[in-house]
């Protein structure tokens, strides 16, 4: 039986909470919408879940209703009493940590696999996402990422080559993971309504291509997209061996970065990572 909790609006009014623009907060009250987000990863019954920036606990409640064991990281002290009510209503299911998610390594919180589900604060969402994707150890400890972003950022994450949204972020998200746009969320669903639309991205780890260094791939994409209007022969000339690698792989150096597939970037990084390049 699902514990009875007062409506979120009532909780927010009682504690005098308001969304902090400085913390990138926007609150969601629609329980049906929150339940749909919590369902995106699949069954979470008995699973460990990390949530970042739970605020007053709307998504937290939805995750707990699935039977998940949730560890929520919140740096806004004002929200802790509201979260304490949720913790009391779901004994043994919720752990609240007061702190900055940018300074907490998720692996230190869990002794096994976990999922990350979050309505990410707008001001740190991309930084957290890239950090979770950038581990040299693969597959990662997390089983899936279900994250809400501004729609523009979400579309960049799943972007294909030869589109304006394609850049370093989609290469990072797609070279050893599968990323999809799971659902859109209208700005009117939030309090206060943000100026832009939002969307939820779902990412699951995939097999990593062999012989590819994460750091080398980052170096190549940073150079290539750092001067995306220029041809590769210009943008990659500062990366030792990159132009020779293009030649070995049959990639025309007159192409621009946004025309290369994720697989082609992986091939370049792999070629540059070989210790005995000619």
pLDDT digits (tens, 9 = 90+) for 235-275: 999 999 999 999 999 999 999 999 999 999 999 999 998 65
Nearest to 226, CA basis, from 238, 214, 213, 209: 238
More confidently predicted of 122 and 158? 158
Dump pLDDT digits (tens) for 170-214.
999 999 999 999 999 998 887 777 788 999 999 999 999 999 999
pLDDT at 24 over 70: no
Asked if 122 and 152 count as a contact pair (C-beta separation under 8 A), the reply is no
User: What are the structure tokens assigned to 191, written together?
Assistant: 């309090």
CA dist 104 and 123 (Å) reads 17
What does 63-96 look like in DSSP terms, one character per residue?
HHHTT-EEEEEE--GGGHHHHHHHHHHSTTTEEE
Query: Measured between alpha carbons, how far is residue 155 from residues 1, 40, 108, 201 in Å?
Result: 38, 17, 31, 9
Nearest to 217, CA basis, from 254, 250, 169, 179: 169
- State the average pLDDT over residues 115-142: 91
H or E element in which residue 97 lies: strand 94-98
Task: Quote the DSSP letter at residue 22.
Answer: T
Spell out the alpha helix ranges (H) of the chain. Answer: 8-15, 31-39, 58-65, 80-89, 125-133, 151-157, 168-174, 214-226, 232-235, 242-249, 262-273
* N residues, the chain: 278
Binning pLDDT at 50, 70 and 90, where does residue 278 land? very low
**Which residues, other chains included, contact 64 with Cβ-Cβ below 8 Å and sequence gap of 6+?**
70, 86, 90, 93, 94
Q: What is the mean pLDDT of the chain?
A: 91
The pTM score is 0.92
Binning pLDDT at 50, 70 and 90, where does residue 277 land? very low
pLDDT at 84 over 70: yes
């Amino acid at each position: 039986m699902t514990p009875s909790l007062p409506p979120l609006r009532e909780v927010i009014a009682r504690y005098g909470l308001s969304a902090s623009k400085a913390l990138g907060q926007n609150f969601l009250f629609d329980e049906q919408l929150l339940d749909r987000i919590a369902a995106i990863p699949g069954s979470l019954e008995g699973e460990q879940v990390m949530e970042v920036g739970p605020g007053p606990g709307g998504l937290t409640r939805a995750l707990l209703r699935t039977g998940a064991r949730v560890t929520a990281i919140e740096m806004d002290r004002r929200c802790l009493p509201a979260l304490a009510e949720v913790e009391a209503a779901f004994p043994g299911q919720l752990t609240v940590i007061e702190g900055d998610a940018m300074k907490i390594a998720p692996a230190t919180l869990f002794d096994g696999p976990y999922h990350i589900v979050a309505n990410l604060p707008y001001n740190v969402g991309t930084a957290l996402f890239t950090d979770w994707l950038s581990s040299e150890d693969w597959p990662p400890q997390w089983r899936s990422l279900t994250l809400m972003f501004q729609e523009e950022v979400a579309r960049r994450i799943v972007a294909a080559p030869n589109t304006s949204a394609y850049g370093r972020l989609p290469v990072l998200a797609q070279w050893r993971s599968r990323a999809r746009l799971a659902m859109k969320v209208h700005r009117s669903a939030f309090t206060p309504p943000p100026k832009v639309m939002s969307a939820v991205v779902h990412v699951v780890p995939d097999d990593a291509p062999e012989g590819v260094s994460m750091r080398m791939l980052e170096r190549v994409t940073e150079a290539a997209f750092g001067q995306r209007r220029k041809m590769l022969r210009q943008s990659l000339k500062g990366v030792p061996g990159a132009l020779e690698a293009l030649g070995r792989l049959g990639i025309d150096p007159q192409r621009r970065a946004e025309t290369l597939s994720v697989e082609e970037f992986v091939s370049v990084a792999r070629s540059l990572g070989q210790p005995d390049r000619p």
